[in-house]
């Protein structure tokens, strides 16, 4: 089914993004850099992750809206 494939893809991408974010955070914390520089890197990484998440959420919302519109059209026939 289309829903199952889409759901699996979304779950995979979400898990991958979460893993990347956690890995990057841990790597920054363990890197041999000053505290100020490390905090700056973490802030930039979080800002980038937030932007990516907002974009992905917008894409998912648009997909849901499209699916709802298609469903409504099919039901009205």
Summarize pLDDT for 27-71 with one digit per residue, the tens.
877 777 777 887 888 889 889 888 988 998 888 898 889 888 888
Whole-angstrom Cα Rg for the chain: 18
> What whole-number distance in Å separates Cα of residue 68 and Cα of residue 52?
24
Name the residue range of residue 60's domain. Answer: 2-76
The reply to whether the predicted model has a pTM over 0.95 is: no
Q: Residue 74: how many CA atoms within 13 Å on its side-chain side?
A: 6
Per-residue pLDDT, 14: 85
The whole-number pLDDT of residue 1 equals: 45
Q: 4: pLDDT confidence band, cut at 50, 70 and 90?
A: low
- The structural domain count of the chain equals 1
Q: Which residue has better confidence, 7 or 13?
A: 13
């Amino acid at each position: 089914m289309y829903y199952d494939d889409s759901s699996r893809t979304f779950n995979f991408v979400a898990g991958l993004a979460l893993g990347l974010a956690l890995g990057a955070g841990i790597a920054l914390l363990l890197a041999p850099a000053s505290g100020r520089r490390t905090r700056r890197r973490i802030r930039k990484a979080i800002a980038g992750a937030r932007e990516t998440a907002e974009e992905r959420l917008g894409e998912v919302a648009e997909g849901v809206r499209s699916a709802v519109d298609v469903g409504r059209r099919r039901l009205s026939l």
